[in-house]
Structure 1
Amino acid sequence: MFWKSMFVATLILHLISLGGGQNFDPGVLLKSSFPPARPSVNNLKAVCIHGNGRPRYPDDSFPSSSYAYARRAGKAVNRLEEWFRQCCYGGLAQGIGQIRCCVEQAWKTALSHFCIEEYSTMTLVHECCEMKGEERWDCFERKAANPSYYPLSGYRAPIIPPDRIFTWDPDTC
């Protein structure tokens, strides 16, 4: 399963580089990274170390019309990866315990914003967004495309500043 999603993601990224980002189905592209996995003891090292090797979704990677769901999902991934960087290297958190707490809070915040944006549309919302509390987080975790946070071979992510500010609350740990 992992190798299949890595192959699909690599192929799509290659097609993007050849065609200026317009020769692919963005929904297929996101299957390699959305929803993002819940940070855990098992994947924390990869969350922090391989951030630059996981896909980002600049606005020009989507056609100018339609694909609203893919845009929202891509935006959530972009936000989350920047927030992970802040937790791991931005000085927000110190030590493994705090970093883990920070990245989990970033994950929940990014997916909460995604769900809010899903509900602001006139389309069907992502099934996990329909759930509340721990059920929502468990749903996203079950559906995670890359639970180990492995990077794409040879990929270097562009820097995409988040459109929202993440404020970590260490008192929730």
Structure 2
Amino acid sequence: MVLKITLVITLILLISLAAFPGAAAYPGRRSIPQAPQHEWLPTAPGGQIIDPNTLMESAFPPARPSVNNLNSACLYGNGRPRYPAYCFPPSGYAYAQRAGKAINRIESWLGQCCYGGLTTGNGQTLCCAKQAWETALSYFCIEEYSTMTLVHECCEKKGEERWNCFETRAPNPSYQPLCGYIAPMIPPDMNFNWDPKTC
């Protein structure tokens, strides 16, 4: 009789484990189904989904080009993040998309200033890079004001005050690359024309 009861209990346990594989690791609890992964959301190592707005906090705004960071800005362009359209969901995250576009533009235009044959010497390259930075952020602010949402606080400022605002909020002031990262090729969505007369 005892043997029969033992066999029945064992059989019930085996059926339970087959139905709920997580029950062995968490006695008394059913296994929790995993949330579906979305291809358009970037993930951290381990598969954790990164919110695009959070991602932008670590990348936007880019630093103002200066004598101190120009060398890194030119050398490490392929090692800094880009934000192609597939990084974002099909709807929502409009601010992150605008910020991502601004970064893509600046990185593309920095490449033109550094290696596109537009400039001669560090002085002209720096002038070109600053103009590219200001132009990209000006477009960003225009796009911010074209929405019905609150605009970035720096966009509410004018002239040098606006540029100082963006500069102080840059999370990567020295234009350092990400270890092991290689940026995808993203064609610029608009042209940049450097005006050397501004130097």
- Normalising by the residue count of structure 1, what TM-score does the alignment of the two structures yield? 0.88
Distance in 2, matches of 1:60 and 1:23, equals: 14
By percentage of residues, which structure has more helix? 1
Unaligned segments of structure 1, at least 5 residues: 1-12
Query: What is the alpha-carbon distance in structure 1 between the residues aligned to residue 124 and residue 108 of structure 2?
Result: 17
Displacement of 1:29: 1.2
Change (3 A) 1:38 1:17: same
The structure showing larger relative contact order (alpha-carbon pairs under 8 Å, at least 6 residues apart) is 1
Question: 3-state DSSP class of the match of 1:148?
Answer: coil
Give the match for residue 167 of structure 1: 193
Among residues 157, 169, 191, which one is paired with 1:143 in the alignment?
169
- For residues 27-42 of structure 1, the aligned pairs below 5 Å read 27-42=53-68
Residue 154 to residue 57, structure 1, CA distance change in 2 (3 Å):
same
Percent identity over the alignment is 69
The superposition leaves residues 45-67 of structure 1 with CA deviations (integer Å, 9 ceiling, x where unpaired) of: 00000000000000000011100
Query: Where do 4+ consecutive residues of structure 1 move more than 4 Å?
Result: 16-19
TM-score by length of 2: 0.77
What count of residue pairs does the alignment treat as equivalent? 159
RMSD: 1.8
User: Does the Cα contact within 8 Å between 1:16 and 1:61 map onto a contact in 2?
Assistant: no
SS in 2 for 1:45: helix
Provide the residue aligned with 1:61 in structure 2: 87
Give unpaired runs (5+ residues) of structure 2: 1-40
Partner of 1:4: none
Looking at CA atoms only, which structure, 1 or 2, has the larger radius of gyration? Answer: 2
